[in-house]
Amino acid sequence: MLRSMKKLLNDCGILIYNFASHIDYTTIAQRCVAQCKTHLPNIPIMSVGQLIPGADSHCDMDNPQHNKKVFGNKSKTWHNLARHHSFEISPWYRTVVIDSDFMIMTDQLQKLFASDQQIMMHRQWYDITNDAVETMSVGTSAIDMMWATVLKFDRTDEVQQFFDLWKKVITNYSYYAKLFAFSSHVIRNDFAVSIALKQLCNFGSVDHCVIPWNIHTTRDSVTVKNFGDNKITFTDAKSNFNVAFDCHVLNKESLADAC
């Protein structure tokens, strides 16, 4: 079957954002697209922001609201505040938004496309360095942090409400930062989606929105040594190791170098 036909039949796809910063995000995003095509060959990919070579379609967008993040020991501009527009941007009924530093190594995300759950995100993360599965909190509140790294959503009214709430949290971020006692210096999508989802559920349980496996994450101190289609080789103070599963890489500089 032709790839374009598959798109029409599936009505689902992957959104990847790409905005230039001091890190070569286009190289990272290009590799991310290539990995998606290797492991999820039937799923169309749309790039947002700057064009990502290899993506099936593109949505132009100017650099969004500026944000700051500490890379190494320096605070630098970071364009991560556009993802709350995904509901308007996505042309599909079922969408998975992934960070460009989330490297696909398996077809595991296919399960999200098959699920009828309207919104899904990771709550537990697997810290590979310390071999620990953890859940973080939003500031000092009892709200568990949901990871915005992988976000699955369907085109429904309830999900639109979620995105509206997400936008409001971003707009009033300093208010929520004071309320839940976290830093307002860096606007974190993770905190914003966690608060928005809680609001959507009237501060009740969000268990039904949790992706039932852990997001594999390597910390800033772990550098990417090598990159293959099915595994990434990392190195840290202790040794080299391979990860043959979808992995969120926090050390973006080494990721860009390895791509």
Residue 216 in contact with another protein, rule: CB under 8 A: yes
The residue among 48, 43, 68 whose CA lies nearest residue 58 is: 48
**Over the Cα atoms of the chain, what is R_g?**
17
Q: What is the largest CA-CA distance in the chain?
A: 54
**Residue 66 vs residues 1, 164, 171, 186: alpha-carbon distances, Å:** 43, 20, 13, 10
- Of 22-30, 40-48, 111-119, 143-151, the segment contacting another protein by CB under 8 A is 111-119
Residue with tokens 């810290």: 127
Q: Which of 19, 126, 162, 191 binds another protein (CB under 8 A)?
A: 126
Residue 210 in contact with another protein, rule: CB under 8 A: yes
**Residue 114 vs residues 35, 109, 212: alpha-carbon distances, Å:** 20, 9, 14
Q: How far is the CB of 31 from another protein (least distance, A)?
A: 21
Q: Cα–Cα distance between 180 and 90 in angstroms, integer?
A: 31
C-beta closer to another protein: residue 117 or 140: 117
- Of 25-33, 68-76, 92-100, 113-121, the segment contacting another protein by CB under 8 A is 113-121
Residue 227 in contact with another protein, rule: CB under 8 A: no
Q: Which of 143, 243, 249, 256 binds another protein (CB under 8 A)?
A: 243
Q: Which of 22, 111, 185, 219 binds another protein (CB under 8 A)?
A: 111
Residue 114 in contact with another protein, rule: CB under 8 A: yes
Residue 199, both tokens: 């609001």
C-beta closer to another protein: residue 88 or 116: 116
Residue 242 in contact with another protein, rule: CB under 8 A: yes
Count of residues touching another protein (by CB under 8 A): 27
CB 39 within 8 A of CB 16: no
C-beta closer to another protein: residue 11 or 56: 11
C-alpha atoms less than 13 angstroms from C-alpha of 58 in its C-beta half-sphere = 14
Residue 115 in contact with another protein, rule: CB under 8 A: yes
**Residue 96 vs residues 119, 136, 218: alpha-carbon distances, Å:** 10, 22, 21
The residue among 256, 198, 222, 258 whose CA lies nearest residue 27 is: 256
C-beta closer to another protein: residue 63 or 110: 110
Q: How far is the CB of 149 from another protein (least distance, A)?
A: 15
Residue 209 in contact with another protein, rule: CB under 8 A: yes
Rule CB under 8 A: which residues touch another protein?
A: 106, 108, 111, 114-117, 120, 126, 128, 131, 133, 207-210, 212-214, 216, 238-239, 241-245
